[in-house]
Amino acid sequence: MAETARIQEISADGREPAKESTDQDPYEGPGRILWNFLKSVRLGVVLMAGLAAVSIIGTFIPQNQPEDAYKDAFGDAWTRLLSGLDLFDMYHSSWFRLLLALLVANIVVCSIDRFRAQRKIIFTQNPHFLPERFRKQENRQSLISPASPRELAGRFAHHARRSFSVVGTEQRGKTTYVYAERGRWTRLGVYIVHASVVLLALGAMMGSFFGFDGYMKIAEGETASQCFERSTGKPLALPFSVSCEKFSVSFNDNGSPKEYRSSLALSSGGRTLVKKDVLVNHPLRYRGISLFQSSYGKMPPNRITLALTPSGGDAPLTRTLSVGESSTLPGKRGVLTLKSIADSYAFGNRELGETAILVLQKPGAKAVEVAVPFRFPAFDKMRRGEFALSVKEYESPYYTGLSVSRDPGVPLVYLGFLVLIAGLFITFFLSHQRVLVELSENKSGTRVAVSGIANRNEPGVDERVKRIAALLSAPAGA
Amino acid sequence: MESSQILSVVTFVYGLAAALYIFAWVFRAETAFRFAFGFLAAGAAGNALGIGLRWVESYRLGYGHAPFSNMYESLVFFALTISAICLVVVRRTKMPALGALASPLAFLALCYASLSPHVSDRIEPLLPALKSNWLIAHVMTCFLGYAAFAVGFCAGILYLLRERSRERRDGIWARIPDAGALDNLTHRVVVFGFLFLTIGIITGAVWANSAWGRYWGWDPKETWSLITWLFYATFLHARLVRGWKGSRVAWLSSAGFAAVIFTYFGVNYLPGLHSYGAMG
């Protein structure tokens, strides 16, 4: 009895007990030392403040930039130092993860430790009350009623059964005590919040161990069955192939993009599994893998139309070629093959940009490689061949940039989100309220005193006390 | 009348309400206090009307989106949330001093929205990434949180002013509310703000997951919202578990609002943000 009452006394004012569990293990091994280190609230406060402080660094140093960008900005020596501290990818560094893990461990240990001390209070079968504590409350209301203590006790108990979960009456000497309480379970709120953080941590870990985050580029009309991991660039095989049947982009009047749309088809073993238009905010999800519209662009041209201008001044011929395709020229002037299309082409120290590389094979002669820059139609005249080649038209298809990811931790994370919101609501907006009505008979009637204790949100219980006092001061039978 | 005209009038009304609150505080004028409340309430109603009208106008322009898409619209909504929370708190606590500190914030937010050359009040079509139903839930919860922290900042400042002027029990110093009431108010608005910031971050994460397939990407804005969240989580633990009270809590509440402001505005000035590759 004395033990329970003491614990109740500590916790009843809403502050959690400052000293932790009473059932201390005398054993002082390394496990106990670690436990005692991890259970301290001070550690939690320091870790949260510390994580907030170090997180600032990564918002001022842009993360995951190419190394040259860092060298330009900070110089070689600083780049080496900052890179050694993992500050260019700090949120994924081992030291940052260690801090997060330490915080989660702290939350778990601290919660278990406090829960052990509070368990008896939260799950008690017969709550105790200390009249002295109730008497000290500022919300105490006193009145004299002509009704008998019995009648008043019945009136209050009848009222309390509706809005309180526990109601008890006790006679001590000449005084009748009617005790009522509600919301004892809301003391669990803080453990619910802490459990949600653990759920979030587990979800995040599941995502990083069993999920992936990749990207892929598919040209319009093409099919691909692998993506590349975002952090490492490593290729990852997908359990299906993705075809981009069409990509379109539309713009608003002011030139800003209005909509990106990729018409995708997933297939496996020649069978189409699913078809969908993917837009930003409207991904395609299939068997746990999600494809998101993330970027777009133009592919290098893969098909060009060449103008062949005879040196004699005759009318030019045209030939349309895809990469690898050949065309026989009239009059035994050989076979022209489009070998490749290069992004850049250096001529002396000049950069000529996109250039078609062709091979001209005349019968009985050595094959000649011919470079035809897109932007310089007169360039090939310098070769002084039978034909001067120039690029008349070229087709460059759109490609769609897709984010491809699988994160099996998401359901756990979302559950954590819901639990977090519920837990915060319980912790901050609900409270454990206890009301004590003291009834003692004297000459002029019954002396009534009502007071209430809440572990938080005191105005709520003050209001209740006022209502109960009004109920008990009403004339009998009202 | 167009929404921008209404909002210009609202700016003026907020200014008047702020002036009346300051007057009511300095001269202990009960009438001015009541009028200030009336003007602030009228301003908030006009502010809400302006937002509603802007919503309608965007449909008329053929874009049809909630007015939460750019800096101007967010500032206008921020002003509304500040004045709404200020109204509730002033009505409950009857503190003219708090109105005198908080209502100017709503006024300043609208002034900045209409006067800054960097903030355009044109209604623009939505970028593809913003076309989501999460936009409304995300913006509303975040700004309710920000506004609660703004009022917590005001209560913290008042507490610190009170501490500074402990010996001077005359003039306006005598009319700073009771320390216990301010301490309690700071805690209550911070708790409210913390719940809404949490929901704001969560709706943002769910939205990010549906738009980009990642619920968290350590983008500077996300990171700063987490920094703010961790800061207030520390605040709550310091108060509830370690028993911090009074001026230490008031300092924390004021400093926390600096983190909120940085999350809101400062992030836009960080180097290399969103334009990856461009180093500042």
Q: What is the pLDDT, as a whole number, of residue B241?
A: 83
| Segments of chain A scoring below 70 in pLDDT | 1-27, 476-478
- Region B207-213: what's the mean pLDDT? 87
Per cent of chain B over pLDDT 90 is: 64
Q: What is the pLDDT, as a whole number, of residue B275?
A: 33
- What is the total residue count of chain A? 478
Residue of B nearest to A417 (CA): B202
State how beta strands A445-454 and A289-298 pair: unpaired
Number of H helices, E strands in chain B: 9, 0
Q: Which of B63, B124, B133, B195 to mutate to test the interface with A (most CBs of A within 10 A)?
A: B195
Element (H, E) at B124: none
Q: What is the pLDDT, as a whole number, of residue B274?
A: 38
Q: Do B213 and A407 touch (CB under 8 A)?
A: yes
Q: What is the pLDDT, as a whole number, of residue A16?
A: 44
- Region B228-233: what's the mean pLDDT? 97
Q: What is the pLDDT, as a whole number, of residue A173?
A: 87
Q: Who has greater pLDDT, B234 or A251?
A: B234
Q: How far apart are CA B85 and CA B91, in angstroms?
A: 10
Question: Are residues A273 and A266 in contact, defined by beta-carbon separation less than 8 angstroms?
Answer: yes
Q: What residues pair up with A219 in beta bridges, in sequence order?
A: A399
Identity of the amino acid at B36: A
Within the 227-246 window of chain B, which residues sit less than 8 Å (CB to CB) from chain A? 227, 230-231, 233-234, 237-238, 240-243
Q: How far apart are CA A180 and CA A13, in angstroms?
A: 17
Q: B193: pLDDT confidence band, cut at 50, 70 and 90?
A: very high
Q: Do A62 and B205 touch (CB under 8 A)?
A: no
Q: What is the pLDDT, as a whole number, of residue A181?
A: 93
Q: What is the pLDDT, as a whole number, of residue A297?
A: 85
Q: What is the pLDDT, as a whole number, of residue B251?
A: 94
Q: How far apart are CA B25 and CA B97, in angstroms?
A: 5
A191 part of contact set with chain B, CB < 8 Å = no
- Region B137-156: what's the mean pLDDT? 96
Q: B246: pLDDT confidence band, cut at 50, 70 and 90?
A: confident
Segment among A76-85, B105-114, B239-248 with least mean pLDDT: B239-248
What are the pLDDT digits (tens) for B65-103?
889 888 899 999 999 999 999 999 999 999 999 999 999
Contacts of A70 in chain B (CB under 8 A): 279
Q: What is the pLDDT, as a whole number, of residue B169?
A: 65
Q: Is the ipTM beyond the 0.85 threshold? A: yes
Contacts of A57 in chain B (CB under 8 A): none
Contacts of A49 in chain B (CB under 8 A): 230-231, 234
Token pair for A384:
């002084």
Annotate chain A with three-state secondary structure: CHHHHHHHHHHCCCCCCCCCCCCCCCCCCHHHHHHHHHCCHHHHHHHHHHHHHHHHHHHHCCCCCCHHHHHHHHCHHHHHHHHHCCCCCHHHCHHHHHHHHHHHHHHHHHHHHHHHHHHHHHCCCCCCCCHHHHHCCCCCEEEEECCCHHHHHHHHHHHHHHHCCEEEEEEECCEEEEEEEECHHHHHHHHHHHHHHHHHHHHHHHHHHHCEEEEEEEECCCEEEEEEECCCCCEEEEEEEEEEEEEEEEECCCCCEEEEEEEEEEEECCEEEEEEEEECCECEEECCEEEEEEEEEECCCCEEEEEEEECCCCCCEEEEEECCCEEECCCCCCEEEEEEEECCCEECCEECCCEEEEEEECCCCCCEEEEEECCCCCHHHHHCCCEEEEEEEEECCEEEEEEEEECCCHHHHHHHHHHHHHHHHHHHHCCCEEEEEEEEEECCEEEEEEEEEECCCHHHHHHHHHHHHHHHHCCCCC
Q: If we measure between CA atoms, which residue out of A219, A359, A377, A243 comes closest to residue A299?
A: A219
Q: What is the pLDDT, as a whole number, of residue A142?
A: 93
Q: B279: pLDDT confidence band, cut at 50, 70 and 90?
A: very low
Q: What is the pLDDT, as a whole number, of residue A13?
A: 40
A82 part of contact set with chain B, CB < 8 Å = no
Q: Do B213 and A425 touch (CB under 8 A)?
A: no
A42 part of contact set with chain B, CB < 8 Å = yes
Burial of A294 (0-12, 13-18, 19+ CB in 10 A): buried
Q: If we measure between CA atoms, which residue out of A210, A386, A395 comes closest to residue A320?
A: A395
The dihedrals phi and psi of A400, each to the nearest 5 degrees, come to: -105, 135
Residue of A nearest to B244 (CA): A15
Burial of A270 (0-12, 13-18, 19+ CB in 10 A): exposed
List the single residue in B128, B209, B267 with the smallest CB-CB distance to A280.
Answer: B128
Q: What is the pLDDT, as a whole number, of residue A15?
A: 44
What are the pLDDT digits (tens) for A147-182?
889 999 999 998 888 889 888 888 888 899 999 999
E-strand stretches of chain B: none
Token pair for A449:
């005193």
Segment among B150-154, B212-216, B229-233 with least mean pLDDT: B212-216
